[in-house]
Structure formats: structure tokens, C-alpha cells
Structure 1
């Protein structure tokens, strides 16, 4: 099925409105837990649709319930709405108006697609079986994340399934990425503070050199993966920040080392900080320094429900064709969609938004991240068909 034929399945007015919404959100991005204007815009827009029950479980999130006229199950659809602390480097007509803040992960598109889906179903309430719950979630990018707050607020009470979508710039437009089971890792973060004894760089023997000690710690942390973990297991330990010193001739009292640990296996996840602490303390103590570890547990791994994923794949094939399906490999990125999957069966899919011909090839969290906006109506169409089918699906 060609892209043209796919797009013909959705009214052009819906397509244009979805793109317009996305561009608005892109111009006015807000960081995690600060999405007040974004949430209010969503709230105001939803109130122009008939039949929705709208609530605000947190100051920067919005929930809309659409209860159909016919009995049935309850499906939740989720969009994340926050942006990233990145200075945009694109030259689009709708570039971010807020310096240092950018929608560099596609959340502007996710929000627009879910608004369009809500509009479509609000106009079809009389034909709707069961209930659709539209979740516009804050703070996906910043642990502990917004999803856990919404779960604790009861937004999944009575929900049978939840489905989420993520626009993917490295997946060609027209493709939908499917993963069965483990999809995204748990993203835990750590901070090591090495405390030594500063002094003159010309008399280093009179100091406890935190720079050299910190460098040894960074090098040896790689043993957690290469020597302490089964090579068949998936584990990443990355040091991403090393801060210390103020001058070329001063040995600093302290250095701070920050990084992340990514894993799927629960036991390996539990062991990683133990090994990290042992390595750091051993090296620091050997050289007369002290070290403290601040370890922040991130999100659970995203693990897609097998039965729901199979059903969703069948629905997508029915509307887009078998060629649209791309079986993608699990990745070591994290996503707090996993908080919902701890409560109800859920699946998370990727909507291809890359286009080499348009130079839309930059990865998520890149200053030049972009999407082919023709992916937006595809995402809306996928959401609509999933909801229509699942709410009439009786398990046997």
C-alpha cells in the first residue's frame, strides 16, 4: 500500500489540523513538570469536542474520558507532552521560540495525534463500545516521571489495556515498529563524588589527586559489563559527566562523576550499583580518598504484552498492509510508559517518521531532530483502528 493510499484513509481536514497542532506545540515547548501552558492548551482544545469528561490529576497533565453509548471494555491511549533542555538547530518555520528548550523527541507530534484521535471519537460517541481514556502525560523525560504520578492518581482504574505510540526519526515513514516482550531498558542514574585533598599541581605528592583517582574509577567501571556480567545479558554502563578542577595548576579537592546504567534483567539491575560502589570505593580508598554514591532508580523496562501486541499487529496489517510492519530490536533507551504496564496489559509501538530524501535522519535528542509530518495522520489512523477493533474484541 502506498503512502498516498494510506493518507487517503483520513480526511484532509484532520490531517491539516493535526499538523497545525504539532507545530504549535513545537513552537512553545516546556520542560518536564513545567508544562502548564501546554496542558492548558490541551484542556482548552478538548473542551471544544463534545462528550468528553476532562480532569486534571496533576497541574500539568490532562485526562479525557469518552464513554460510549454501547457497553464494552476500556482502552487507554497515552501521549507524553514534555520537551527537552536542548537548543534547536533546525531552520523550520515553526522553530522553538524558547531558547534552550526543544521538542527533540517527538512529543509534540504524540500530543497532536492524540488530540486528533479524541476529536474523531468524540464525533462518533453514539457508535462507540466501552470507553476510551486519553492520557496527556507530563514529565516523561525526567525521573521519577509523570506516569507513576498518574497511576497513583488512579487514571488506570477500570482500564483493560493501554497503547502508546512513539514517532521514530530513524524508522522510514510508512513503517510501524513492533516489538514483542522486552522493548526498552530500565534507565538508572548515578552520581559518584570523589573527595580528596587539593593542592598545587607542581607539588602533587602533597595532595590526594581526585582527577587521577576519578579517571581510574571511570576506566574500571567498564569491568561491570565486560568482566562481571554474562556476555549474553544486555547491560550498559556509561559515564556521561566528569566535573572537577578550576585551573591548570590546581589539583581539586573534589570531582563528580555522573552516568547511567541500562538493563532488562532485574537481578543484574540490582547487582549493578553494588558492583559500582565496590569498584569506586576500592580505588578511592587505595589512594587515600573517599567516595559517595547517589544512585537513582529509573523506570522499569518497557515489556510489551504478547497477546495485545499480536492483536495490535493484526490491526495495523489490516489497515496499512503487511509491508508496513517492521520488527525492531529492543533498545537501551528508557520510557516511563512502563509504569502503566505494571498495572494493565500494554504495548508500545513506533511510528516511522524518517525521510532520507528530506534529510530527516537525525536521532532523538539531537538539536536537528525532525519528523516527516506525514507520519502524524498515519499515527492517528493507527490509533483509530486500534481503538475501534479492541473495543469490539472479545477474548476467547
Structure 2
């Protein structure tokens, strides 16, 4: 498992480009004796492990995402990325390796359980077109009863399990904006309309949607993550491009944020004599953890690491396209602590110095496998 994780870390691939990752994972799964490993969702894989203890139509999915991020690595690990500008800075290499280990473990124990565990190694969690949406479109959850997802968490001590019921990640939408003004000489800006000045005003005003218009207990994040415009020292910029993201926990708040973003951008542009073009794209919904599935993770975690190492933790403001699974079937998305307590620095997800304490990975794999067999042993849900 560790060797596989390190191979993937050295050879990361971006969303919808995971050709080598797909081929490598198929190879190691087949070498481990897994049968009928098949390509799905573009550059993903699926494999079914059928328990032989008795007849059962009950099925559960374990999902592991496999894509990397456009980040230059500075972690300092000896197996650092060999692809400049691409890094597994979100732990998907660890997810894939734990998915592999869970598959091998379940295959070795298939005579002890009934039903089927479907492992899905999913591409394109980080960027559109999202792999989770394609998994659903291809019908990979049509014949299953539930789904289990895992994510590493650098803020929790290595080997601890965190889970909670209800909304567990936020919805994620993205926007692109083009502000158009009029060029002029930089020495006489009154002859033009400064698109940079307009764009700067919008960045400031958009933050007030969260700080002044939304209940503090209602999760919403509006972030402008890119701004580009201008060029010459002596020319007023005629055009500026902005991009960003909206993260929300409730559909009503999501709709309000969309509406207010449009109103603020259009009114500010008009007030400055500029124009604006807005492109809003709806992304994944929130992940919602089913209480009965949370109970299964809590029991599986207690079996593997003890009840004291399983914490009831709130969700986080990140988004994850596992949300498409949770829309389709009762699901649970839990977090595995990967923080090494001997190291003072904690680097967050999507950071160039992000690191994983690999001692946690056997625990994650074991909890995935135990949760799957625990679910299969439960009475059929209504």
C-alpha cells in the first residue's frame, strides 16, 4: 500500500488526464488477484468483490478519488512529484492506496461475508467535468444500496477517525467575470473607464454578501481566486477578468449568493460606466451523511482503533463530488487523521508542503473494509 501511494505521488496526473494512474492501478489490482477490473467514468476503474458466505443482492460502494492538483510541490519528501507543476496535495494518492488495500483485504476475506463491495477509483474530483457526476451518469450506483467515502485530514492526529451526520461538505459553484471599460492614457484616466478600478471595487463588495447579508450560522464562502488585466505602464486597462468560487451549505443560501453576486457586479459596473459579463456554473451539491451510515463508520472505527479514537466532528467548508453519490444513495464521508504530532507545522490541503503521515493509512484501509462488511451484514434499509 505504501509503495503504491509513493508511486502515485511521484507520478501525479491532473483531473481528466489520469491515463497512467488508471493503467497502474489496474495492473496492481490484477497482480493482487482481483478479477474483472474495468474502466469507468473516463480514466477511472471499478471492481466488484462478491462475498461467498451466502446468497445476497446487497451492495455497497467504496469510493477512492485519484486525481492531483496543479501545484508545484515543496514537501521535501524523498518521493516528491516528478512532474513540475502537478502534485498530490489533497491526499488522493493516499485514498487510492487505501482503496487498493481495502480491495485486497476484502478479496482475501470474501468467504466470510455476503453481498458485494464495489470499489470505484474515481477520476476528476478536483475539476470539471467532474468524475462523480459521470459515475452517476454511467449507472454505477443504480444497483447499490449505499456508498462510503474517505478523505485525509491534516488537522487531526494520525489514525483518528472523524465523522458526523448531516451536511458534511459545502456545495461548490464557480464564476468567471469579464469587466469591460475603455482604454486611455495612464496620465489622463478621465478619458477612459478603468476596468482595474471597477474590478477592485467588486472584489471588496462581494465579501459583504457573507459578512453582512448571511446568518453567521449559515455556511457561505465567496472567494475571488483570480484577477487578470492590463499590461502597459502607461495604458488604462480596458478589460479585467475575475474568477472565483461560491461555497454554500443550503440551496436557498446558494441561490441568494448567485443573485446577489450578479446584482453587485452589474450595479457596480454601471455606476462606473463599465459593462460586465458573468458566467456562473453550478458544481457539486453538499455531501450529506446519512445517520445510519455514520453509525456504521463509528462502529467500524471503534473495532479498528477503539472508541476513544473515533470523534464526532463537524464537517468542513471544502467541497467534494462524493456529494453526487450521497444524492443518489445513503452515504457516509468520513475523515482520517494524518497529522504527525511530532511535527509542529501543519500544512493544509492544497498546499505545496502538504504531507501525509503514512502510519495512518492501514487504519483507513481497515476501517473502509470493516465498514463495508458491517453494512452488508445489516438488515436491508427501508
Query: How far off is 1:277 after superposition?
Result: 0.9
CA displacement 1:45-83 (0-9 Å, x = unmatched): 222233532221233110001122222311110100000
CA root-mean-square deviation: 1.4
Aligned with 2:64 (options 79, 83, 87): 79
CA distance in 1: counterparts of 2:225 and 2:106, whole angstroms = 44
CA distance in 2: counterparts of 1:261 and 1:213, whole angstroms = 20
CA distance in 2: counterparts of 1:312 and 1:350, whole angstroms = 10
Aligned to 1:109: 94
Query: 229-238 or 265-274, which moves further after superposition?
Result: 229-238
Query: How far off is 1:174 after superposition?
Result: 2.4
Q: Within the alignment, does 1:356 sit opposite 2:341 as a pair?
A: yes
Q: TM-score, normalised by structure 2?
A: 0.96
- The 3-state SS of whatever aligns with 1:39 is helix
Aligned with 1:313 (options 289, 298, 306): 298
Aligned to 2:115: 130
2:159, 2:364 within 8 Å by CA — same for their partners in 1? Answer: no
2:103, 2:369 within 8 Å by CA — same for their partners in 1? Answer: no
Aligned to 2:223: 238
Total equivalences in the alignment: 379
Query: 42-51 or 115-124, which moves further after superposition?
Result: 42-51
Query: 218-227 or 95-104, which moves further after superposition?
Result: 218-227
5 Å-filtered alignment, 1:176-215, equals 176-215=161-200
Q: TM-score, normalised by structure 1?
A: 0.92
Query: Which segments of 5 or more consecutive residues in structure 1 lack a partner in the other structure?
Result: 1-17
Query: How far off is 1:360 after superposition?
Result: 6.2
CA distance in 2: counterparts of 1:209 and 1:77, whole angstroms = 52
CA distance in 2: counterparts of 1:133 and 1:189, whole angstroms = 31
Query: How far off is 1:326 after superposition?
Result: 2.1
Aligned with 1:40 (options 13, 23, 32): 23
Cα pair distance change 1:257/1:59, threshold 3 Å: closer
- The 3-state SS of whatever aligns with 1:193 is strand
Aligned to 2:142: 157
CA distance in 1: counterparts of 2:72 and 2:329, whole angstroms = 37
Query: Which segments of 5 or more consecutive residues in structure 2 lack a partner in the other structure?
Result: none
Aligned to 2:40: 57
Aligned with 1:329 (options 300, 311, 314): 314
CA distance in 2: counterparts of 1:393 and 1:232, whole angstroms = 35
Query: How far off is 1:385 after superposition?
Result: 1.3
